[in-house]
Amino acid sequence: MDVHVIDHPLAQARLTAMRDARTDSASFRAALHELTTMLVYEAARSFPVERYPVQTPVTGTQGTRLANPPLLVPVLRAGLGMADAALGLLPESSMGFVGLARDEATFEPRAYMESLPPDLAGLPVLVLDPMLATGGSLEHCCRLLADRGCTDITVLCVLAAPAGIDRLDRSGLPLRLVTTAIDEGLNDRRFIVPGLGDAGDRQFGGM
Ligand code: U5P
C-alpha cells in the first residue's frame, strides 16, 4: 500500500495544536479543518485532469479541471470535521456517509449508518477519518466501497498507527493512505500513542 506522510511545517504545526490537551474544541476543529485542506491538496496531486477552452479578459486559452471529481466519504462521527474542508476544495464532488462506532470491548467496528451510491465503478473515493488506530473501522468502510465496485480509494487521516497500516495493507483492498504522522503504537484501550485522544470527543464533546 502506498503511504504518503505530509511533513510540511504548516501541517505539522496544525497536528501539534490538535495533539495539545489544552486545545479547546473550537481550536481543535479549526486545526482539523485547515489540516484537511492540506491533506486533500496533497492527495489530489495525482488526480487526472482534463483541458478545456476558457476566455480570459485578454484572449482565449486552455483551462484545467479535474476529469473525475472523487466521491467524499466522511466516517461518522470523527470524520465529520473533515467534510466541509474537503468539499471546499472539491466543490463538484458528491458526498456519501458511513457511520461506525467502535465496540470498546472487542475494538471491532459496528456500522450504524450507510448512505452510499449503489454503484461506485469508475468513481474514485476519498475516505475521511482522522484516526487509523487498529484499522478495523477503515477496513470495514473500504470494504463497503469495494463491494460496490470501487477500485480507487484514498484514505485521508491525521494520525496512523503501524498496526492500522498493517491491517489495511493485508486487506488487499485497492487503497492508498495520506496522513500527517505515523505514531508509535496503541495503548491497551487501542488509543494511538502519543496520539491526540478521542477525535470525536475532542471536536464535539464526550458522549
Ligand atoms: N479513535 C480515536 N482516537 C484514537 C483511536 C481511535 O478517536 O486514539 C477513534 C476514531 O474515531 C476512529 C476510530 O474513527 O476510533 C478508529 O479506530 P480503529 O477502528 O482504527 O481502531
- Has 198 been annotated as catalytic? yes
C-alpha grid cell, residue 60: 482565449
Query: pLDDT tens digit string along 149-203?
Result: 999 999 999 999 999 999 999 999 999 999 999 999 999 999 999 999 999 999 9
User: Mean pLDDT over residues 83-107, rounded?
Assistant: 93
Burial status of residue 177 (CB atoms within 10 A of its CB: 0-12, 13-18, 19 or more):
buried
- The DSSP symbol for 143 reads H
pLDDT band at 104 (very low <50, low <70, confident <90, very high): confident
Q: List alpha helices for 20-123, DSSP H.
A: 25-43, 80-89
Residue 105: predicted pLDDT = 84
C-alpha of residue 113 to centroid of ligand 1, in Å: 17
Q: Mean of the per-residue pLDDT values for the chain?
A: 96
Q: What is the pTM of this model?
A: 0.96
C-alpha of residue 58 to centroid of ligand 1, in Å: 52
Q: How far is 135 from 189, CA to CA, in rounded Å?
A: 14
Atom number of ligand 1 nearest to Cα 77: 11
- Has 201 been annotated as catalytic? yes
Whether the pLDDT of residue 19 is over 70: the answer is: yes
Whether the pLDDT of residue 207 is over 80: the answer is: no
Candidates 14, 29, 102, 202; catalytic one: 102
- Has 102 been annotated as catalytic? yes
C-alpha of residue 201 to centroid of ligand 1, in Å: 11
Pocket of ligand 1 (CB under 6 A): 75, 78, 102, 107, 109, 129, 131-138, 164, 190-192, 195, 198-200
